Structure 1
Amino acid sequence: MDSIFHQDLVDSISASRKELAFFSGKTFFISGITGLIGYQFAMTILYMNKYLGTDCKIIGLARNKEKFDNLYSQYESLGIEGVFQDIVEPLKCNKEIDYFLHAAATTKSSSIIENPINTFLDMIEGTKNILELACKNKNSRTIYLSSMEVYGQFDHYTVVKEENLGYLDLTNVRNVYPEGKRACELLCSSYYKEYGVDTMVARLAQTFGSGVDLNDGRFFSQLAKSVINKENIILNTKGNSIANYCNSRDVVRALLLLFNCGEASNIYNISNPDSTDSIKNVASMVCREIALNQIELKFQISQEKKSKYPEDTKIKLDIKKIVDLGWQPKFSLQESFEKLIFSMAERMK
């Protein structure tokens, strides 16, 4: 672990010491624990145990035992264990669970396009299996991590509340991802209605900060690596799509708040409205404010590459619902990129 991520974890739990005491002695089941959000959330719980003595337990679902061990083997004494299987198979866990965080998802566009059927069906079956396990834990709470992509397309720039949904072209196989997310959200609501499973949905903006995996291939990581390597930023689209972002530390605080006092069978947007801008403007800001104009923004657009990306979005997430619960984002877009870049740079040495 790099020093930037370590300090961010220490600072975040120190600032929320009283609120985090609520979780003392609880057990968390985290799917996708080796992914970005799963890892960020799990490390927060482990640091709570280490520095606050909360004595929480974590059961982490992962397909790749080697990756799990690389991330967590040194923290076993702090209360984490792994369950190694594919999420589309019935889940093998007989322990009592208080909180389920369903963070497992395919996010790589090329994988989605090459395997649209499996992408869609695996999302449904995996979510069903999590909810079935939650059914056996009658007093548990479940958060399903969804995406702002579920909002689809709007004809003009729109500030979207949780009840607003736009258009998705069902002939575009890339849309199996947002349509699958929509279906899983509905599945959560259905399990609440039919079986009383306490579920919530968190629709996340693009989330990043310190501690992001060096192999992450998403846009924010590509920007960070360009700055670190002093290479020009290359966009394969015109960059007109509106990007909504949120720092990973802010997102974890939001998820913990929802576990504490979120309303069952509700959906919550999680984003930083001040970090909303076009991809082109975000890339330009990184070149100007962080790389100090030592690199430039370039465009290399082709139809073949364009088909890999979602359609341009024109939305800004409304966060009033979670703000009313007492949450506010703390980190600016520039701060988030600085933390991401310094964190990655330290591990790339």
Structure 2
Amino acid sequence: MAAAPSDRPVIEADVAEILANDLPWQRLHNARVLVTGASGMLPSYVCHTLLGLNDAGGAGVTVYGLVRNEAKARQVLGPIVNRPDFTLVVSDVSSFMGESLEFDHVVHGASAARPALHAADPVSTIKANLLGTFNLLDRCVATGARSFALMSSAEVYGQQPEGTTLIGENSYGGFDILNPRACYSEGKRAAETICASYAKQYDMHCTVPRFGHIYGPGMALDDGRVQADFAAAVMAGRDVTLNSAGTASRTYTYVADAVSGFFYAMLRGDSATAYNIADPAGLVSIRELANLFVAARREKGLQVRFSNPADQSAFAVQAAQGLDSSRIAALGWRPRVGLAEGIDRTLRFHEQAAEAAGR
């Protein structure tokens, strides 16, 4: 049985699916694993999965979850914070030294992913990626850690040439480095270079999974990205409103599939190598995604509306721009959860959480 709490059946089922992947899980047995940003969607699923290994077969994994906000972490992570195989570490990764702690593996997921935070606090955003990565890798070198995995982002690719459909791992475009909004993109790029530098100089095994647009349980409804906005509207029983014609297309990937891809990169991937993690079948336009969210709860009678009425008839599918996932697929990774099923799971998670809060 997976480690997810019994009052969160969607997460529990997701963890079971992740652990069903044919991976060398034994490499993590009896390991001490630090997961930074543990209250975030992707890092929290990593924590649940590692603890699920213990519940499934006594793997002896000890998980350390580093967070800045203890109250938020306790709310997001739930009962796992009280498990004997889990330790909550409250610290800012930008200043974290961890002198008294030793780890076998480090997963660096602490980063301000919300677009609003990039504008409001660009300094903290770039610090988490630069100083945080330096701090963690220095600790890895000092204690002889076996691996380091950086949760990176498709934001590193910058502006792509017109007509690009799928972005490969070497397709780097530009952006305005003097725009404070570049704090996230440049921070991730620099963090990846830091990883490659430590891999070469200290023979550290560093992998770089790059995530695109991820959705699922653990996604805050006030996140600010379209997938969160659509989920929030459906949960509130509001029509989904688009502020444009919704022609932009991206690859949307369910969180459990994304975390499976993360473990494929971590456990099977090459060091100093980046891996796009994106579901090829999730390549849809924002408009199509909105319709899928509305269709997931047809009984509510919701519609997709447009803030500018002209946009309703202005829809013309533009060239898609998603991530090419062939490199991670070559390691054996296959997404299992389609968009319709993933959206249903996402809404069920929030519905069950709302029901539990109202008891």
Q: TM-score, normalised by structure 2?
A: 0.86
CA spacing shift, 1:80–1:43, aligned 2, 3 Å:
same
Match of 2:174 among 167, 173, 195: 167
Report what 1:58 is aligned to.
Answer: 63
In structure 2, what residue type is equivalent to 1:278? S
> Once the 2 structures are TM-superposed, how far is the Cα of residue 68 of structure 1 from its aligned partner?
2.9
**Secondary structure in 1 matching 2:281:** helix
Matches of 1:29 and 1:206 in 2, distance apart? Answer: 24
SS of 1:113's equivalent? helix
Q: CA deviation at 1:72?
A: 4.8
Distance 1:266 1:175, change over 3 A: same
Aligned to 2:4: none
| Cross-structure match for 2:311 | none
Unpaired segments ≥5 residues, structure 2: 1-6, 309-317
Distance 1:74 1:288 in 2: 34
Aligned pairs for 1:130-279 (under 5 A) are 130-154=136-160, 155-213=162-220, 216-279=223-286
RMSD of equivalent CA atoms: 2.3
- Give the 3-state SS of the residue equivalent to 1:38 in structure 2: helix
Q: Counterpart of 1:39? A: 44
1:113 aligns with 2:116: no
Distance across 2 between alignment mates of 1:56 and 1:344: 29
How many pairs align? Answer: 338
Deviations 1:169-188 (A, max 9, x none): 33443222112211111111
- The answer to whether 1:282 aligns with 2:256 is no
Q: Distance in 2 between matches of 1:291 and 1:114?
A: 37
The answer to whether 1:30 aligns with 2:35 is: yes
What displacement does 1:243 show? 1.9
Give 1:305's aligned residue: none
After superposing on structure 2, the runs of 4+ consecutive aligned residues of structure 1 that deviate more than 6 Å are: none
Check conservation: 2:67, 2:90, Cα contact below 8 A. yes
Question: Structure 2 CA distance, aligned partners of 1:84 and 1:139?
Answer: 21
Matched to 1:233, the amino acid is V
SS at the partner of 2:181? helix
CA distance in 2, matches of 1:186, 1:145: 13
Question: Is residue 133 of structure 2 the alignment partner of residue 127 of structure 1?
Answer: yes
Whether the 8 Å contact between 1:141 and 1:197 is mirrored in structure 2 is yes
Report the Cα distance in structure 2 between the residues aligned to 1:118 and 1:69, rounded to whole angstroms: 22
Of 308, 312, 329, the residue aligned with 2:335 is: 329
Does the CA-based 8 Å contact 1:50-1:78 persist in structure 2?
A: no
Q: Take 1:250 and 1:261, find their aligned partners in 2: how far apart are those partners?
A: 16
Rounded to whole Å, the distance in 2 between the matches of 1:299 and 1:171 is 33
Partners of 1:238 and 1:286 in 2: CA distance: 16
The answer to whether the Cα contact below 8 Å between 1:17 and 1:52 also exists between their aligned partners in 2 is no
Q: Give the deviation of 1:264 after TM superposition.
A: 0.5
Deviation of 1:204 after TM superposition, in Å, equals: 0.4
- Cα shift at 1:289: 5.1
Q: CA 1:254–1:287 in 2, change beyond 3 Å: closer, same or farther?
A: same
Tell me how far 1:158 sits from its aligned partner: 2.9
Task: Deviation per CA, 1:45-103: give whole Å up to 9, x if none.
Answer: 11221232111001111112223334255553340102211111142243331211100
Which amino acid is the alignment partner of residue 196 of structure 1? D
For residues 32 and 179 of structure 1, what CA distance do their matches in structure 2 show?
19
SS at match of 1:136: helix
Distance 1:289 1:35 in 2: 25
| More displaced stretch, 105-114 vs 262-271 | 105-114
Give the deviation of 1:344 after TM superposition: 0.6
Q: What are the superposed Cα offsets for residues 299-326 of structure 1, whole Å, 9 maximum, x if unpaired?
A: 337xxxxxxxxxx995221111111111
Residue 196 of structure 1, CA deviation:
2.3
Residue pair 1:152, 1:313 contacting (<8 A) in 2 also:
no
TM-score (norm 1): 0.88
1:124–1:74 distance in 2 versus 1, CA, 3 Å: closer
C-alpha contact (below 8 Å) 2:38/2:47 kept by paired residues: yes
Q: Which moved more, 1:203-212 or 1:16-25?
A: 16-25
Q: Which amino acid aligns with 1:336?
A: G
Asked if 1:340 is matched to 2:323, the reply is no
Partner of 1:83: 89
Aligned-residue offset at 1:10:
3.2
Structure 2 CA distance for aligned equivalents of residues 111 and 210 of structure 1: 21
